[in-house]
Amino acid sequence: MQLFPSLPETGTTFLAGAAWFLISSILTTHSTTSFLKYRPTTKLPPPVNKQHNRQLFSLPHLLTLYRFGGSFFLSILSPSILSILSKLPSTIPSFLLPALFMTLANLGNVVALDRIGISLTYTTKCAIPIMTILLQVCLKGNSRLPPTKSLIAVLPIALGIGMASWNSPRFEKVGFGCALGSAAAQSGLNVYCKKAIETTSVKGFDVQRNLVVCAFAFLTLKQAVLDRITNFIFKNVDDRKGISLEYFLRVLFNCRTPSNRHPHPPGWLSVYTVCSYHLEYSLSFIFLSRIDSVSFSVCDAIRRLAIIIVGRKLFGGAELTVLNKVGIASTISGAVLYAFVS
């Protein structure tokens, strides 16, 4: 599917990248944070019994399921739905590994956002360009190492985003670990998805379709198998050790503590969140298919800076400090320098 058929190649690349940047930094940031922070104006009725106080999914896990399932549904909304579905088996195998990285990246990201907030989550993820370079070097050796000038330009971008987003974050080990894991998984997704696109010649919305059907299957398997294992472990451990073990395992696998009981966000917010996510990722794969992985990671880093700023504007936060302003200047300077030397 070609999103901008009448435009030249460079125009299509620019518009896809710009649309991805704006949708992700504004619409996805607003919808995702609104979903995770949703609280009704009226109090929830008390649970009838303790069993009713236990949710099958937490909001972060539910959000990830909605994203994958809803995105797949949107991707097959076409008169040629049977033709679309018939092509999936031949291309899905190449996207299994990228889909696994996508699952881990999304789940880790929403858990981190829920637990430690936007600033620290995206501070941690500012290392993605460097992780992507290291992964490429590990896979293909020094031949995949960018020129020295490009490497120098990447460093102030990562450092600048860290300074720009650092604002007394609510540090917490589990949330910070999820953010770190999400950053590493996103690097894997960038590299291996690029490889899968080149192997299969699948592009844009078709890439998203292949990824989300696999990711939804992975998440369902996690719920059916891994979550049952954590429940079994918790029921069979010593009470003294079980408190911390339950907390860690529930957060890591179920993304919640057992006492959490949140209301379900309204339908319009769920649909808004799914549509924003679907457009963001579909456009990102169109953009990724037209540029190299490191350049995409640099654009992605600048996008994360925009997410931090938009998040503060929409949901509050302290005024920008001198360190924040220096970070913004460092990021923009690094991006301009990278554009000139690459």
> How would you write the pLDDT of the chain (342 residues) with one tens digit per residue?
444 444 446 777 888 888 999 999 999 999 998 888 887 765 655 544 444 444 555 777 888 888 888 888 888 876 667 777 777 777 888 889 999 999 999 888 888 888 777 877 877 777 777 777 778 777 777 766 777 777 787 788 778 877 776 665 566 777 778 888 888 898 888 788 878 888 888 877 788 888 888 888 888 887 777 666 666 655 555 444 444 544 554 555 454 444 445 677 888 999 999 999 999 988 887 887 788 767 777 787 788 888 888 888 888 765 667 887 788 778 777 776 776 676
Q: Which position has the token pair 């989550």?
A: 121
Nearest to 97 by CA among 188, 7, 177, 19: 188
What pLDDT sits at residue 171?
A: 65
Residue 102 in contact with residue 184, Cβ under 8 Å? Answer: no
What pLDDT sits at residue 4?
A: 43
What pLDDT sits at residue 319?
A: 66
Cα–Cα distance list, 184 to 38, 125, 170, 233 (Å):
28, 8, 21, 28
Residue 164 in contact with residue 333, Cβ under 8 Å? Answer: no
Residue 183 in contact with residue 277, Cβ under 8 Å? Answer: no
Q: Where are the alpha helices (DSSP H) in the chain?
A: 9-22, 29-36, 59-75, 81-91, 96-124, 128-140, 148-165, 173-200, 205-221, 227-235, 239-249, 267-288, 293-315, 322-341
Nearest to 17 by CA among 289, 205, 201, 222: 289
Would you give the DSSP letter of residue 95?
A: G
What pLDDT sits at residue 288?
A: 76
Nearest to 80 by CA among 197, 1, 196: 1
What pLDDT sits at residue 261?
A: 53
What pLDDT sits at residue 281?
A: 84
Q: Would the pTM count as exceeding 0.85?
A: no
Q: Phi and psi (nearest 5°) for 95?
A: -105, 5
What pLDDT sits at residue 211?
A: 87
